[in-house]
Amino acid sequence: MMNRSFIYLIITLGILLIPNIYAQSSESSSPSTSGAEKAQTAEKAQTAEKAQTAEKAQTAEKAQTAEKAQTAEKAQTAEKAQRAEKAQDAQTEPEPETQPICGKGTELVDGTCQVIKTEEKSKGGGCLIATATYGSELAPQVQQLRELRDNSLLHTESGTSFMTGFNNFYYSFSPTIADWERENPVFKEMVKIAITPMVSSLSILNYVDMNSEVNVLGYGISLILLNVGMYFIAPVVVVHTIRKRL
């Protein structure tokens, strides 16, 4: 009987103590559980905040990219518009008329190069072709022609008459020839080859007496015949001889 009573007592005490023990264990475990939940909640909040921040950054980057693309497109459109406007202006504007380039000693008058009239040219003018051919008015060949004109021909009446008629003919084409020589070195060399024999023949007059009308006429006609022979008769004779041999 005593054993049974003791057992019943223990069982009764266990029944009474078990709820208290469970309650205490629940109370002791609940703080740790709530702390873990708080940590998870904070971690989720941080993750969500980071995702929002990244999303905002991506949105801002997309907006900047779109803005840059729009700016570049506007710049390209404006550039194309400017090019089109310039092209239209170029098409509508009339092309300027090309004017001939006049050489030294000439001027542009009504679209053509004409000799500038100065005091020196009233005496006979400068040798435009020789100046362009030999490169300078101080070239020995040009000075030789000038001295022949000023020191010999213009001191006689026949020489002055000859120079007047010659100048009217010479200055009708010499400015154009001189301009062509300055523009085309090959043409300049061809002219040099052509006039060098004539200039050399005229140098003879610097060594003879040209103070009388008779001498001027005699030597002048002789030199004219000499140059006609060199430039016309000699080539014809050469060509004829070659053709006969062939």
Q: What is the DSSP letter of 233?
A: I
* pLDDT (average), residues 220-233: 89
What integer pLDDT is reported at residue 122 of this predicted model?
Answer: 39
What integer pLDDT is reported at residue 120 of this predicted model?
Answer: 40
Q: How far is CA 47 from the centre of its chain?
A: 63
- Going by pLDDT thresholds of 50, 70 and 90, the confidence category of residue 3 is low
Check residue 105 and give left, alpha or beta (phi > 0: left; psi -120 to 50: alpha): left
pTM (2 d.p.): 0.48
**What are the domain boundaries of the chain?**
106-245
What integer pLDDT is reported at residue 195 of this predicted model?
Answer: 94
Q: What residues contact 123, with CB distance under 8 A and at least 6 apart?
A: 149, 150, 154
Share of the chain above pLDDT 90, in %: 15
What integer pLDDT is reported at residue 121 of this predicted model?
Answer: 41
**What tokens appear for 210 in the block?**
């040209």
* Number of DSSP helices (H) and strands (E) in the chain, helices first: 9, 2
- The tens digit of pLDDT for each residue in 41-57 reads 888 888 888 888 888 88
d(CA 173, CA 169): 8
d(CA 187, CA 193): 10
- The tens digit of pLDDT for each residue in 56-112 reads 888 888 888 888 888 888 888 888 888 888 877 766 655 556 666 665 556 677 666
Q: Count Cα neighbours of 61 within 13 Å in the Cβ-side half-sphere.
A: 6
- The tens digit of pLDDT for each residue in 118-143 reads 444 434 457 899 999 998 888 999 99
For 24, 86, 140, 242, the CA distances from 92, given in Å and listed in that order, are 102, 10, 53, 61
